[in-house]
Structures are given as C-alpha cells and as structure tokens.
Amino acid sequence: MGEDSEAEPTIAADDPSDATLLDPAVASSPGTGASDAASAELVSAREVEEIVRTISLYRVIVPLCILTLAALAVSPATLIARVPSAIAVGTSFAVTIALLFVFRDRSRFRLSLVLAHGLLTTVTILTCVVFFGVFSPAIMTVCVGIYFFGQSNAPRHGSTIYATCALGYLTLTVLALVGVVPLDRSVAAIDRPDVAGLAAIAVIAQAILALTFWMAVRSRAATRRAFGQVVRAASKLRERDAVLAEVRADLDVVRRTAEGRYTGRALGDYRVMDIIGRGAMGEVYRATDVSRGRSAALKVLSAASGGDSAYVERFVREARIASSIRSPYCVEIYGTGQTDDGGHYIAMELLEGEDLAEHLRKVHHLEADDVITLVTEIGEALAAGDAAGVVHRDVKPQNVFRLAQPVGARWKILDFGVSKLREAAATLTQGQVIGTPSYMAPEQARGGKVDHRSDVFGLGAVAYRAIAGRPAFTGPDSAATIYNVLYVQTARPGQNVQVPEDVEAVLALALAKDPQRRFQTTPLFAAALRAAYRGELDVAVRESARRLLAAQPWGTDTLAARPRRSWHSLPPPR
C-alpha cells in the first residue's frame, strides 16, 4: 500500500513519559558528546520499525476478525451467547480499520492509540475465550499481542498488555473453577470438569504467557543493541568517508618529485634546492640565502602562469599584501625577484613542520589546548591582516602551518594569494568565487562582499575540522559542497567525539550563515572558545547560540526548512 516507502516519520509524544518510551537508553544518555547524533539516528530507526510492525499486525488482525465473525455466525450456540463476542470482535475490527487509515499519515502515529487498541483487542480475546471455552486453545491467541507489545519501544506498554492478559485470564479461570462461568455452555464444553486438571492447564497457560513476554523483552533488548551497533558503525563510516573526501581534494597538490626546473640554480642571492611544495600558481623550493647565510623558501610562479599577466599581478600582489602584515603568526617575506627567464619569485621565511591537513591525517583531531592555541594564534594573524585592510579569504587546514620547533609561535597562516584588500578595487577577483569550497563563507561562495567576518567563518570551519575530526562541509563535488555551505547547517560537532556544549555553541556562531550572527572578529571568536573550554562562556554568547540553533538546528537544510542530512553525512558515490 506504499506506507513503507514514505519519508521517515516522527512518533508524537502524548505525555512527558513518551520521550523515554521511545528508547530508555537514549533518555538516560548524556545531553552532549559523541552519543547524541547516534542516539538520534537510533530513535529514528526504531520509530520506523515501530510503525511498520504496528501496521503489519493490524493487517493480520483484520482478516482474523472477519474469520471470527464468520465462525460466530455459523455457530450453533444461542444468539444471546454469541452477541457479546460478536460486539467485541466487530468493535475491534472497526477500530483496526480506522487506525490503519489514520496511520497512513505517519505523522499521526501515536503510541497511546496503539496501547488503547491493544487493550481493546485483549478484552475482545478474553470475551471470545468465554464463548469458545476458558480452557480451550483460544487463550493462546493473546501470545501474539504479548509478544508484539513486549518488543515495543514503550516498555511500560508491553508490561501493561501482559498484566492485563495474565490477570484477565486468571480471573476467568478462577470464576470458571468456582462455577460462576459455566464450562458446559461454551463451544469446547466440559460437562464433568476435573478441577485439579483444569487448574494445571491454567498454570501452564500462565507460564506460556509469561515465557512469551520474557522472550519478547529479551528480543527487544537484543534488537536495540544491534540497532545501536549498526548506527555507530555507519556514523564511523560516514566520518571516514568525509575525511577521505578531503584527502582526495588534496591529491592534485601532492608533490610528485623533489626536483623542479630551478633545482640547483641560483636566483639572485638564493641557491635553489629541492621542491617542498606545489600549488596552482607555482612551486615552492627550499633555498639558501648565500649573502645572509640563512634558509629560505622560494615561491616561483609557474611557466604557464607566468605568461598570464593577471596571474603575475596576483603573484606580486600576494608579496605586497603579505609584507604589509606585521604578526609573529604570519610568514615573514624577505623580498621578491625575477628569474633569468623572466619568471617571478617570492623569498620568504622557511618553516619546518607540517600543515594542519597533514597533521590531522595523523592524529584525527586536536586536544583542547592545541585547538585553543591554534585559534588564538591564527586569529591574531587574521586580525593583523584586518588591521592592514586585508581579508585572507582562504583559511583552510592546508594554509595553517604547525611549526616543528616553535619559538614564540606554534602556528602560522600561509598563502595570501587570494587575499583581498578591503579598500582596493580588487579587479583580479571581483565577481569571482575565490577560495576553497569546504572552508568558504556563504557570502564568499555567492561571489558577494567579503570582510573580516568571512575569515571568522573560515577559522570556524578549521576549528570544527580540528575538534570534530571531519570537515564541517563537504560533498561528492564542489557544487554539492557549496550548497552545504550556503544552506545546510553542519552536523553537530560532538557526533563522534566528546565536545562540551559551550564549545558547540561557539562553533555554531562562528559558522553562522549570516555574517551579522557571527563573532565580528577572530580574537573575539578565540576568546569565546577559550572561555567555553573552561566552562566560563558568557551567558549572552550562549543565548545567541541557543537562538541560532533553535532557528537552524544541527544538520538541517535552511533553504528547504526541513531536516536533511548534509552531504558529509552520506557516503560518496562509488
């Protein structure tokens, strides 16, 4: 009938206890940390299972009611004897049909309605047991209901149905044994009852009911554990796929050889050695400044780019911008020059260590102290750029460098090649989408106006990657990634690692789609993150994050205004 293929439902709660009825393990879990997202997925999966099981049971009840009514119609018993059972069965039939119609819209599914229907069906079966015979096999039909409710997401509902069945049948057996309920007028009539034998049958029947309930509860517990294991495994796989997607994006910049066209040559005062990096615009060489006796890095514009005046202007512009920024957390620029064949190069400080992207491939995520240091130092560098009128526009793990032997600074920001001078015409990049999609601010992705708050977003995305162990935004291609940046609130940072609630709140504000709702400077972001880790977050900041997440919850599509899994929550196509 098509119900099983519909969108995932939400079981509505009818009272405060229904939150725990859905899954006690979820209700008792901590409010923050790695279990939250997995618990939410577990609840969602069990909600779907509950609805499918209920509809399947109702589809079995309908023909059973019809068969029972047919049996009552042809029974030789008197009309008076058949009427109570016929009324009970007819009522159950009508209610079952009505609920099947109601539950076609899964948003109208109510656990309380299922329980009420279960109690009605139990009373119907007990009424029919009187007609067919208290000690007949008819009582065994309640085992279906006991087993069904014993596996329910609402444990107390299962106990209620079992207790009703057991106590109801116990009442009938006692009344039958003392003669209140006649045994010789039922379909399975007993003219000369053996009281001891019938009592033994009643005890065996009660044992079967209890065993059925016990088996259902144990089966439910095993199913819940299996669901949890599957959800956690799927979550880990999605995390791995997100990291792999980021690694694939880096493959085109992995250096293929240690030698380049300038290796072994002299460029001005510099003796050029091996290549230590390649980029879209050129190559970076290790070099020695012969006149000063110091190591250096030479960034040389590639031959292909050197023939393009726009690339040359952008290359020279990078050196000019970087030189204008004074910060211990920025790479020091020594100067610029030209090669013998007309090429251009920038001489700069040589850094020993690795970029954040490479470091995170080894350690998965950073500890709190490292994250605070990173955001503080890179935030100071970006603030220095802001003071010089510069927006970096490409803050990402590949442009954040971790020094192997820090002296004063642990982290430095790299590559001002796509930076924007706030007051300049910026004709090189005007109207273009410049930057790396996964770490690009929404306004930047639209090709709109950018300012220091765009760098706040980029630093927030870097911090998210360092804390959560996976990118905030990614996808199978650039278009999907940009869509996520523009419209999809990222998944909760504490999905797979323990993250304090206040830290999640700070990240939410740093990654706000609207620049007005972000921290207005990177030092403010760094200060809030420090306070969050210490449990000292300002109440106003916490409230701002609460309002933001109330309007745009983790993992939702803000464009469609409905829950949606972001691309990084889905496995990439194979």
Annotated catalytic residues are: 394
Query: Which phi and psi angles does 137 have, rounded to 5°?
Result: -65, -5
CA distance 491 to 567: 10
% helix, strand, coil for the chain, step of 5: 55, 10, 35
- Can you give the three-state secondary structure of 140-156, one letter per residue? HHHHHHHHHHHCCCCHH
CA distance 6 to 231: 20
Sign of CA dihedral 563, 569, 573, 574: negative
Indicate the pairing of strand 294-301 with strand 344-348.
Answer: antiparallel
The residue type of 486 is: L
Contacts of 204 by beta carbon, 8 Å cutoff, 6+ apart = none
Cα dihedral 438, 441, 444, 445 in deg (nearest 10): 40
- Show the tokens assigned to 47: 């909600």
- Show the tokens assigned to 524: 């403010």
Distance, C-alpha 128 to centroid of its chain: 50
401: nearest Cα among 473, 348, 443:
348
CA distance 566 to 557: 8
CA distance 79 to 65: 18
CA distance 381 to 373: 12
136: nearest Cα among 96, 211, 85, 92:
85
**DSSP 8-state class, residue 252:** G
